[in-house]
Chain A
């Protein structure tokens, strides 16, 4: 009965489970298949890396020296092309002396984007901040106010154009896509048909032709004397294009919300819009975060197509910088690697952010 309690002294685990060596054993050499894969991959890396680093680093030319680059051709990379041309690549045709303006504008907008990603800042003033940021952005870019020299929109280019087009078209297309998705499920035949026609029409044509229409065809239908800025037309084109695809993503989410949720909301007396806003959309959008972000990323990259209508965003500006320059044209690959890094930085950030958002919404659903 009165057995005394004898605590068993704590012992270390028989096999170490933490630390570098166990991690390697578990993840890289778990069985013969993973061991073989590991060995093969290490072998491949050892085979490729020396040549790659020789080309990219040790034999590379970093100075803006075309002759040295020419001499190193075939053995080393010519990063000098970036040193020489980065301002044209980043800012396109924007007047050289004024390039501080797009620089400040873009830094401001990227900062605003980063701020908007933080949950703590999701307050009403965020909307006001965006109004201010956009106003400053366009004032800086366009000029004509506060003694800034006016710069025509067709001279805007490079990264500022890419960031602005992507940001605005995502911001505008997202709410539009929600309305279209709801419209496509509407009980009112006219609204439903209009939404279906819009979606199918847009999905039936490539973005290039939408841009082409916006840029060259649309002005023909306008009354004489009225013109809409080409940048605005292109922005609207991208927005309408993106919204059609996003609407189908949203619709997928809407369909995944169980019917019982709608019945419960109806029973409680919520109106159609209250039900959508409070019950359906929060659940539907949470379910489509990954595919939505997928679409955001592809919009960001699709902005490169505006080159077709002579707006030189990042990719277009690269062509602008090198195509007509016989001296530097041979080093296009290095310049492309440079903008690849820029695109990658943006897209990778978006993709990581999407993972975070996904975790946030799943936390509030189950836990």
Chain B
């Protein structure tokens, strides 16, 4: 278990008293592993990755991230969030700040990096996602694909060990999906641990070490991508794959 960076042990979570959203989740993510999580809507896949950086609380079980157990303790949450970057479906850029300010905000205020240095690093990250020329613009002046790349760069500015992607391409026009996926594929080649909720099966085949299929709050099946797509074990997985790959 020494190379596991994220572990879930018998994690259960409820919304309110009745909606059992995560059921007995057991999961161990290796350092540098790239995992794609898929499943129908409401299956708990977003909730699962949002537990990793404590955006969601859980009621039973244990989650450990890079050696820190996630509890109610604020210090633990702080420590974990330093290691985990996140990219959202709706980008969640700060609309009142420029692209550059979006990137330098956390390094300056959380990491206490001097402004000049934070800006140099931010520009490096913007170059990495190929959008450096937009640094002075405001987020809402950019296209969806550009905004999402800025969001990825913003998360990378804190040099996280783990990146969470919560349906990063679902809010994008078809033409813009590729530019975001290209950036993610590049990132995947650089040894960062990735947990990615997505329906982009091409991306899963190209970069994932493991594909996890969830339904009704449970992990139904997990396997290496070629096994997962060629030889799904459960009927539920076959049914799901036939629907999303069927045409």
Contact = CB atoms under 8 A, between A and B. Distances in A.
B107 to A, nearest CB: 9
B85 interface: yes
Contacts, number: 66
Interface in A223-279: 258, 260-261, 263-264, 266-271, 274, 278-279
Interface in B132-162: 138, 140-141, 154-155, 158
B84 interface: yes
Given A365-B95, A367-B138, A367-B141, A268 B105 contact: yes
Contacts of B106: 268-270
A364 B105 CA distance: 17
Contacts of B109: 270, 274, 278
Which of B55, B88, B109: most chain A CB closer than 10 A?
B109
B110 A270 contact: yes
A286 interface: yes
Contacts of B81: 266-269
Interface string B70-93: 000000001001101110101011
B155 A260 contact: no
A51 interface: no
B198 interface: no
Nearest to A266: B55
B243 interface: no
B95 A264 contact: no
Nearest to B164: A267
A364 B106 CA distance: 20
B53 interface: yes
A264 B94 contact: yes
Interface in A329-367: 361, 364-367
B247 interface: no
A264 B93 contact: yes
Contacts of A263: 55, 88, 92
B55 A365 contact: no
A59 interface: no
A366 B106 CA distance: 22
Interface residues of A, number: 22
A153 interface: no
Contacts of B96: 282-283, 286, 361, 364-365
A366 B55 contact: no
A268 B88 contact: no
A113 B230 CA distance: 73
Given A278-B105, A365-B95, A264 B158 contact: no
A260 B105 contact: no
Contacts of A361: 96
A365 B94 contact: no
Contacts of B94: 261, 264, 279, 283
Interface string B85-125: 11010101111100000000110011000000000000000
B141 A267 contact: no
Given A260-B92, A283-B96, A365-B140, A267 B86 contact: yes
Contacts of B154: 268
A267 B84 contact: yes
B72 to A, nearest CB: 12
Contacts of A269: 78, 81-82, 106, 110, 158
Contacts of B86: 264, 267
Contacts of A367: 138, 140-141
A268 B122 CA distance: 14
A365 B93 CA distance: 12
Nearest to B154: A268
Contacts of A271: 110
A261 B55 CA distance: 12
A56 to B, nearest CB: 48
A269 B107 CA distance: 10
A267 B51 CA distance: 12
A250 B86 CA distance: 29
A361 B106 CA distance: 23
Contacts of A260: 88, 90, 92
Interface in B35-76: 53, 55
A364 B97 CA distance: 8
Given A269-B78, A361-B96, 7 more contacts: A264-B86, A268-B110, A269-B82, A269-B106, A270-B106, A279-B94, A367-B138
21 contacts: A258-B90, A260-B88, A263-B92, A264-B88, A266-B55, A266-B81, A267-B55, A267-B84, A267-B155, A268-B106, A268-B154, A269-B81, A269-B106, A270-B106, A270-B110, A282-B96, A283-B96, A361-B96, A364-B138, A365-B95, A366-B140
Q: Which 10 A-B pairs have the closest CB atoms?
A: A264-B92, A268-B106, A260-B92, A267-B86, A269-B110, A269-B81, A366-B140, A282-B96, A274-B109, A260-B90
